[in-house]
Chain A
Amino acid sequence: AQSVSQHNHHVILSEAASLELGCNYSYGGTVNLFWYVQYPGQHLQLLLKYFSGDPLVKGIKGFEAEFIKSKFSFNLRKPSVQWSDTAEYFCAVSNRGFKTIFGAGTRLFVKA
């Protein structure tokens, strides 16, 4: 069965610190990979996605993620976080457009 594991449930950083959120998935077939974000009081939004091609994917707001197939990983990174990045981040995998499996989420708090 598919599963998604996010390494950290809570992360606290100071502004300008670098961010890396770990994500590993379990699925033997071809997958689409996503990172979603939910800002306080808002709905889930797509941060970035990987379908094929360049394994380094750039998303909105300076986020990027790297797909490493051999490690079944899709880690999210940002070189310098801002207070406005405080949110909950979800890694997700889908089997080519069908149901999406989510990780448990990582709550990021950025101190101003």
Chain B
Amino acid sequence: EAGVTQFPSHSVIEKGQTVTLRCDPISGHDNLYWYRRVMGKEIKFLLHFVKESKQDESGMPNNRFLAERTGGTYSTLKVQPAELEDSGVYFCASSQKKGGTGDTEAFFGQGTRLTVV
């Protein structure tokens, strides 16, 4: 079974440019999460999709960040325009809701390291 995959693995862009990160969750997983880790700090929650709907986007830092999950499959996270403080590692995770109890574990992708210069 393929795991969670993220593209690209690394991205270096200039301040003011646009970057789009992609996440392909494990097939059949309804839940998809985006997280970010700024250098040396904790991994912070950004948002959570259930299928194509945003369940919780309380962690999105500002309106320069736009996440979509068309058709409830893969997801994209666009940063426009990028700022220096957006640099970090962006993780995606997916999980499968089991039997209504909600007891699930999340499987993480390898992350996209974004550097804004």
Contact = CB atoms under 8 A, between A and B. Distances in A.
Given A43-B110, A105-B42, A98 B105 contact: no
B2 to A, nearest CB: 13
Contacts of B93: 100
Contacts of B107: 46
Given A44-B91, A97-B97, A100-B33, A32 B45 contact: no
B117 interface: no
B41 to A, nearest CB: 7
A51 interface: yes
Interface string B88-104: 00010101011001111
A71 B28 CA distance: 37
Interface in B43-60: 43-45, 48, 55-56, 59
Interface string B73-117: 000000000000000000101010110011111111111000000
A80 B106 CA distance: 28
A97 B95 contact: yes
A101 B96 CA distance: 18
Interface of A: 4, 32, 34, 36, 42-46, 49, 51-52, 90, 94, 96-105
Given A34-B105, A97-B102, A100-B106, 19 more contacts: A32-B105, A36-B108, A42-B110, A43-B109, A43-B111, A44-B111, A51-B103, A90-B43, A97-B31, A97-B95, A97-B97, A97-B101, A97-B104, A99-B59, A100-B35, A100-B93, A102-B35, A102-B42, A104-B42
